[in-house]
Chains A and B, each alone.
Chain A
Amino acid sequence: MRTWLHGTVAVFLKDFRLELRNRYAINMLLLFVLASLFLVLFSVGQETLSPPLMAALLWIIILFSTVVGLGRSFVSEEEQGTVLLLQLHVLPSSVYAGKLLFNLILTLVVNLVTVLAFLLILGMRVLRPDVLGLTLLLGAVGLAGAITLLSAIIARTVNRGPLLPVLAFPLLIPLLLSVISATRKALTGTEWISVADDILTLVGYAGVVITASFLLFDYVWKD
């Protein structure tokens, strides 16, 4: 257990320091969010967006940015030839856990930035910030959990690039429906009891996805 925790923290810190040095992923994610946001702004023009439309756009931008940004987490290991070192020194499950932790933080940053941009630029009004906060947190856990395993799968294929959205989007639909429904309720204001269904689905989804990833990661990681 101690070695597992140690390995997890080591993998996480390695990714974190690399990110601090070149800031590739975070810059790309933020620019992607802003670029797609301005795309939305120009497409809708002067129209004011209704809360359901706003919730849908918010999550579509988050989904696309994270799928594009997090897809590199294992591909970069493969390109730099560091896979063998990780395989030798760290347990497979702690590689997954470390990467998941790092991706989770990236996803949370993306979520926050997107919501801030929506608040400032699109004039989004949130009547229940607590519901929105919980939705963003749980959504990030589910997203990061699913995409981390899928990006490990992608890193093993021959042409690594564009396959990730194809693999990820159908699997993320249950998550997307629940977060959009919860966000819509958070924007229009509601009691906790009416979002309970969505929140429980999100908790269940994140739990299932992360558990399945821990069980399956060994088979992706080792040949």
Chain B
Amino acid sequence: MSGKTDRTYRFLRYVIALWVTGVLLAGFLVDIPRIKLLEHTARNLYFHVPMWFTMMVAFLVSAYHSARLLATGNMKHDIHAEEAARVGALFGILGLVTGMIWARFTWYLGTNLWWNFDPKQTMAAIQLLIYGAYFVLRSSFEDSRRRARIAAVYNLFAASTLPFLLFVIPRQMKSLHPGAEGNPAFDEITAPEMRLVFYPAVLGFIGLFWWIYHQRVRLKEAEQTLQQCCQEQPVLP
């Protein structure tokens, strides 16, 4: 890693940290219009929705690196694909948890339900299962080159069926999410002043993903370098 990218990385790190802090403060403190039923839970818009945006970006990054790995055979893409998928899955879990909490206090108010098979919720859970399978598959190889190739194939194969999970099937079923049949679309129920926090929140969380992802990739690369030089000169205990 050259010195210039190192410096950009450190600089961006501070920008992202400040940005996300700002988003968190604004998300909790800035006054929002009271919508019936939603009330203050509407603040979850700043956290729940960006998690899904971030997860989609993460899985796109992962699929891109898988495709590059198959095209070039460069093992560095394998590290990128794995870490992007891992951090993306983390954001997916966070999105699921924030969604469950939000749903319990709005849609399922007074029913004690955490889970009611809303199609988007269920499909998102299945998407996480797919990435769970991706990690299980990764752990069942001994040869690292073969692991990289086959895992990349599975990643791309899964990515090709994702549009059905996320866009086709949920549109055919009844859902409580905005934009589903009979429900107002997202931009009809969002107050304009909330967008001033929402869009920066999306950018902030994508930035946070980028930061964690790069940190992990750098760690993995450092580990590999360490392993290689240890193989050349065995270190005595």
Number of interface residues of A (CB under 8 A): 33
Minimum distance in angstroms from B140 CB to a CB of chain A: 4
In the complex, whether A153 has a CB less than 8 A from a CB of chain B is yes
Contact of A174 among B142, B149, B152, B165 (CB under 8 A): B165
Among the 9-residue stretches B33-41, B90-98, B153-161, B208-216, the one with 4 or more Cβ atoms under 8 Å from chain A is B153-161
Q: Which chain B residue has the least Cβ–Cβ distance from A178?
A: B169
A204 to B171, CA, bound (A): 15
A205 to B145, CA, bound (A): 30
Contact string, B49-81, partner A, CB cutoff 8 A, digits 1/0? 000000000000000000000100000000000
Minimum distance in angstroms from B93 CB to a CB of chain A: 15
In the complex, whether B136 has a CB less than 8 A from a CB of chain A is yes
Minimum distance in angstroms from A204 CB to a CB of chain B: 7
In the complex, whether A223 has a CB less than 8 A from a CB of chain B is yes
In the complex, whether A130 has a CB less than 8 A from a CB of chain B is no
B136 near A163 with CB under 8 A, answer: yes
Minimum distance in angstroms from A157 CB to a CB of chain B: 4
A66 to B70, CA, bound (A): 29
Q: Which chain B residue has the least Cβ–Cβ distance from A165?
A: B133
A158 near B133 with CB under 8 A, answer: no
Chain A residues, Cβ within 8 Å of B157: 149-150, 171, 209, 212-213, 216
How many A-B pairs fall under 8 Å by CB?
Answer: 87
In the complex, whether B14 has a CB less than 8 A from a CB of chain A is no
In the complex, whether B100 has a CB less than 8 A from a CB of chain A is no
Question: If A171-B161, A208-B161 touch, does A153 touch B137 (CB 8 Å cutoff)?
Answer: yes
A170 near B164 with CB under 8 A, answer: no
B150 near A153 with CB under 8 A, answer: yes
Per the 8 Å Cβ criterion, residues 62-118 of A in contact with B are none
A157 near B141 with CB under 8 A, answer: yes
**Which DSSP category, helix, strand, loop or mixed, fits chain A's interface?**
helix
In the complex, whether B172 has a CB less than 8 A from a CB of chain A is yes
Minimum distance in angstroms from B167 CB to a CB of chain A: 10
A197 near B172 with CB under 8 A, answer: yes
Per the 8 Å Cβ criterion, residues 139-170 of A in contact with B are 146, 149-150, 153, 156-159, 163, 166-167, 169-170
In the complex, whether A177 has a CB less than 8 A from a CB of chain B is yes
Known contacts A173-B165, A209-B161, A216-B70; 17 further A-B pairs (Cβ under 8 A):
A146-B161, A157-B140, A163-B137, A167-B137, A167-B154, A173-B123, A174-B168, A181-B172, A198-B172, A201-B172, A204-B168, A208-B161, A208-B163, A209-B160, A212-B160, A216-B157, A220-B149
Which 5 pairs, one residue from A and one from B, show the smallest C-beta to C-beta distance? A174-B164, A212-B160, A170-B129, A157-B140, A170-B130
